[in-house]
Structures are given as C-alpha cells and as structure tokens.
Structure 1
Amino acid sequence: MNTACAFVLFLLLLVSVSAGSHTLTGLATYIRENAFSASLMLDDITVGYYDSETKIYVARGNTTNEDDVIDPSTIKDVGANVLNHFQKISHLLRPVNETESYVVHQVVTFCEQSDNNLGQITTKTAYQGSTFDELHFFNGKFTYQLFSNYTGPEKIRDLERSKSRLENFYYPACIKMLKNYLKTRETQLNRKVKPLVRLTQKANSDSGRSRLSCLASRFYPRHINLTLFRDGQPVSDHEITGGVLLPNADGTYQMRKSLEISAADKHKYTCSVTHLSLDNTLDFSEPFKSVILSVLIVLALVLVFGTGVVIYIYIRRKRRAGHSLNIFFSTQRTR
C-alpha cells in the first residue's frame, strides 16, 4: 500500500461536521525510517503545516496575526509528542505483508466547537490505512476503542498517558487555536460561492438507454442538497448513482447525481438544488429537450432559407437567360 492510498483511506475515518459546528484537525503521517509530515485544517481549509526538519509551523493561505493563534513552543511540543508516539508504536507493529515497501502510521486529532459552545476532541491512530485505536474526550468523560489484537501492558500504560495528554494538553490547546482561527480566518470561512448547475442527458448506444445527470460544481461551502425529481416526486435513492462530494483544485466542491432512463421514458425530470449561497431553491428542468428543439428550429430555418436562396438564384438565372435571348433575336432582326 502506498502513501497516497493510506492517506485516502484514513481520511474516510473522519466524522462529518454539521453546518453549525467548526473543527480544527491535525493530521500527521509517519513512514518508518523515511519521512514525517503534519498539517492543520480549519474545517476544510488548510491553514498550515509542520516542518519536521526545522520544527517550525508554516502558515498557509490568507493569514493575519498568526503569532497570536499558534504558540511556537506548543507546536514544537505537539510535534515532538506525535513523532515520539510514531516511533514507539513502530516497534510494536509489523508490516501486514513483508513485501510492502512502506510502513505507514498516521494519527488524526480533531476538536469541535458547536453553536452551543460544547467542545470535544477525538484522536485516531491508523496503521497501513486502517484504524488502530480511537480515543474520545467529551464533557469530562473518555471513550476508547481498540481495533487490533494488541493489548499488552505497554498499551495499557500508553493509554493512561494518552488520556492525560488529551485532557490536559491537546484539548485546551486545540480549542484555543480553533477559537482564534475562527476569528483570523472568518472571511475565508464565511465566503459563499454559488453552484453552477447542469442537467444533461447522454445516450448509450449499446443499451439503448440514456444517463440523466445533474451536476452542481464550483460551490462553497461544502454543504449542499441536490435532489432529482420525477414528475414532481423525489427519485428513490436506490435508482440514483453518485452523490459523493468531491473537492475542486480551487477549494470549491462538486457533486453529481445520475439516473438511468429508457429511450421511451416520457416522465418530466427536474434537478433541485439548495445551498447557503442561494436565496431560494433552484429547479432545473430537462434543458436537453429545449436544446434539441432549438436545434431543430434552427435547422428548419436554415433549410427554408437555403431553399429560398436556391429558388431565387434559379429564377434570376432564368430571367437573365431569357433577357439574353431577347437581345439575340432583336439583333438578328436588325440585321
């Protein structure tokens, strides 16, 4: 398993955040005897990364008063603790497959602040892209899950140390940074970009059916409601494919939902979109029908116009030919 694969699998472990909450997430990756990297995200915005060689936190994006948000000594302590954790667990775990070229360990820690001011923090450890354990702290209480067979005495002692660090170090530091970042990155978080929506139909020559697709793209924030309707009624989820939220390179998002329909399908389909950037729900009916109709009208006009031009040229040439004959006969009579 390569690094990219492990990274993608581990991101799938992250919990979804409700629209009324904000999350600060730290993700660190350690490839045994090779590399160590870490990044920090506010919701879905990468605000900085930790340079393991220089042991310096590097801010990213539109930043203001970053020194007030990040305490260099705190970042250095966090980096050292995480790296020490990786090095320790690296000796306890062995590759699943001895032929694997990389042994990847990852840890993610995220704290959440909701509208009701209740804060919580979760830390998860992954090995080769799969969750190893999870520790959660909320309202003064811990919950712990172990997803491996390793339960030796070292793990028990490490768990107690992890609880203490989580409650007394990581939790207060994370919540403090989260609140500060919510102030310094307010403009980025509150920006709204309207989705570009298209409803298209593409025929499949092999099956004789068509794929009806509704695509919403280039929108921000990521929360969006995209629904396909058939004659005014929502299409069942089991008929729809897609619906996965995907990021764009510019920091916006896209989502596509598709439906297979027969060539003889006479139903009316509509795509409905609601988003924070929109004042009202947008409904998009089948534009492909109007496009086809427009094309047919244009072709008909071109055909009529073209036919008229041909007839006009023909009549004009015929008149010229008749006029030439009259001149010829007139000349003959004169002679």
Structure 2
Amino acid sequence: MSPTGSVTLRLLHTSTFQNSSFVDTEGLGFLEDIEVASLDKHNWNIRFYQPWVHAALPRGDWKALEDMIKIYLHKFTHLINEGATENGVPYPFVAQCRAGCEIYPNRTSRAFIYAAYNGQDLLSFDLDNHTWIPSQDTNISQYVLDVLQNYTALSEMLEVLFNESCIDDLQVMMHYGQAALERQELPVATVFARTPSPAQLLLVCRVTGFYPRPISVAWLRDGQEVPPGPALSTSSILPNADLTYQLRSILAVTPRDGHSYACRVRHRSLGTRSLLVPWGHSEVVLIAGLGAGLLAAVAMAVIVVLWVRRRR
C-alpha cells in the first residue's frame, strides 16, 4: 500500500506506430507495484500473473473487460492514425495511456486517464465532468481534443470502464490480494567507503532486499541527521530480480575529520525500530524500539548472575 494507505490499480498502455499499417501495442496492469496482468501483443488477450486474480475476477467479468479493452484499442489505433495523417505527423512515434483508479482509507475513490505522445503529456480525461483537458498547446493536442470531445461513445465507455468497473474490480482484488499487498521484507544495509581522491572520502550506504517500496535512509553525523546538501546524494529506488527494492545513499566527507558517521534506515517492516549501521563497524544495530527489551534482557542477566552466586 502507498504511504497514505490508499490502493491503486493502474493500467499502462503503449502503442508504437511504425507506420500507418503496423502498430506494436503493449499493456500492463499493476495492483500497487504488483504486476497482475499483461496484454498479449498478438491477439490483445489478457494474461494474468497472480493466482488469486482468477478467483478475484470470474471468467465472465474479465472476458467482458477483455472485450472492452479490445474495442478501446481498435478505436484508439484508428483515431491516432487518422490524426497523424491529417496533421502530417512523421512516423514512427509512440502514443501512451496511463489509466486506473484509487481507493482511499475512508472508502472514497477516484479514477484517472492520461494520454502522452512521444513521452510528453498530451491530455487527460476529467471523469467527473466528462471533459478532456489538454496538457500542451500544440496542433496535435488540439486535434485530438476536438475529435475526442465529439467522440461521445468513447467517453461514455471510458466512464463505465474506470468510474465503475475499475472501482468494483479493485475492491475485489484488495480482498483476494490482501496477503500480497501486506507483504513485508526486511531491509539489509551495509556501509563501505570509496576514495576518489586523497582529500575526499565517499561513505556509501547500500540498502537492499526491502518491500514495500517506501523507505527512509539518512546519514547521522555524531548522532545528528545530516541535512540535504551537495555532499549528500541518494539514488532512486530500483527493483531487484526477487521483487524487492534497493537504493544507495552517498555522503562525501573529509578523511579523518574526527566525526562519527552512521546510516539510519526506517521501513514499515521494522515497525517502530530503525536500522543503524555505523561507519567503521560491521555490526548492524536495531534502535528506537528495543529500549524496553534491552533493559529487560539486562535485568534478567543480573538476576541469573545473582542466583548463580547464591547457589555457590
């Protein structure tokens, strides 16, 4: 689930128009970041990847969804080719759509549809007011806008598909896919150093193997968090082959500057605890949630020592 507690079902559609008669179409479906389905580019049939999706969507439902998607793709391909011809758009080019719906913790929901051309936002569809909104002022965006505003059948189909079917299907998927949505994997953090020059030391904190995606990684100098600045850089969160994530945070320091450094990791799988990996030490320390447990362990050790001494 997202940090806000909402759950999103996203459909990603990409069509590469090589020429007016050959279009390569790809489609993916995600529940949050879980890939649940893809579109067979040869026949536009839906392939499901999660075993619980079949239970969540009876065959009649996903067959109707598959038929609606095929109608949409036929209309989409015809519309784009027609617009390219009338506006002298050179081939090849790429048209993309991102659509779906989101349910919030208070059970309210929203649906969304965005279209792009060659990686640039083109227009979006306001499902509440049934209107298309341009994202740029170009000839092609104006042409597509004019066509879509008069293409009421497509707008009505999109409204049913995303304002109704998408929300209903998402609610069912949230029930059957609950275990997948609540999956948690602990992060593994290591700290090492690189020396690009004698005057500079790069401390690298590599965090990997965590799930879900949201995570907080910070550097501590003498116990105080290092604020953002040119000396601190953190990579994007990248996927691993085992469906977990990784990232790196790098802090530039002066060698032997007399300060102590540590990498601190916070993640949902850790609960109220944090991972603390000091530079120059191999051990990983769990903090901010172990105080009571640590005190209890110390007290138990003292009791055992006293008991053994009395027995002697």
TM-score (norm 2): 0.77
Decide whether the 8 Å contact of 2:28 with 2:39 is kept in 1. yes
Q: Shift in Å at residue 212 of structure 1?
A: 0.8
- Structure 1: which 5+ runs fail to align? 1-15, 292-335
How far apart are residue 34 of structure 1 and its match? Answer: 3.3
CA distance in 1, matches of 2:190, 2:77: 47
> Whole-Å Cα distance in 1 between the matches of residues 121 and 246 of structure 2?
28
Q: 2:268 aligns with which of 276, 288, 291?
A: 276
* Rounded Cα–Cα distance in structure 2 between residues aligned with 1:130 and 1:109: 16
Q: Give CA deviations for 1:257-315 in whole Å, capped at 9, x if unaligned.
A: 11111113221112111111113332424342569xxxxxxxxxxxxxxxxxxxxxxxx
Can you list the C-alpha shifts for 1:162-214, whole angstroms capped at 9, x where unaligned? 5433333322111111111112221111111000011222222x353111121
Residue of 93, 113, 116 corresponding to 1:103: 93
Decide whether the 8 Å contact of 2:56 with 2:172 is kept in 1: no
Q: Residue 187 of structure 2 aligns with which residue?
A: 195
2:114 corresponding residue in structure 1: 124
Asked if 2 retains the 8 angstrom alpha-carbon contact of 1:201 and 1:288, the reply is no
Verify: 1:53 aligned to 2:45, yes or no: no
Please identify runs of 4+ aligned residues in structure 1 that moved more than 4 A: 94-98, 140-143, 151-154
SS of the residue 2:127 aligns to: strand
| Partner of residue 85 from structure 1, selected from 68, 73, 76 | 76
CA distance in 1, matches of 2:13, 2:113: 11
Q: Partner residue of 1:325?
A: none
Does the alignment pair 1:255 with 2:244? no
Aligned to 1:29: 14
1:220-250 C-alpha deviation (Å, 9 max, x unpaired): 1111111111122221212311241111111
Which amino acid is 1:119 matched to?
Answer: S
Task: Measure, in 1, the Cα distance between the counterparts of 2:23 and 2:158.
Answer: 27
Q: Note closer, same or farther for the CA distance 1:127–1:96 as it changes in structure 2 (3 Å cut).
A: farther
Following TM superposition, by how much is the alpha carbon of 1:87 offset from its aligned partner in structure 2, in angstroms?
A: 2.9
Q: Confirm or deny: 8 A CA contact 1:200 1:286 kept in the other structure.
A: no
Q: Show structure 2 runs of 5+ residues with no match.
A: 284-312
Deviation at 1:57, TM superposition (A): 1.4
Shift in Å, 1:153: 6.5
Alignment of 1:182-221 (within 5 A): 182-204=174-196, 206-221=197-212
Looking at structure 1, the residues matched to 64 and 164 of structure 2 have their Cα atoms a distance apart, in angstroms, of: 15
Greater CA radius of gyration, 1 or 2?
1
- State whether residues 133 and 145 of structure 1, in contact with CA within 8 Å, keep that contact through their aligned partners in structure 2: yes
Q: Name whichever of 154-163 and 39-48 sits farther off.
A: 154-163
TM-score, structure 1 as length reference? 0.72
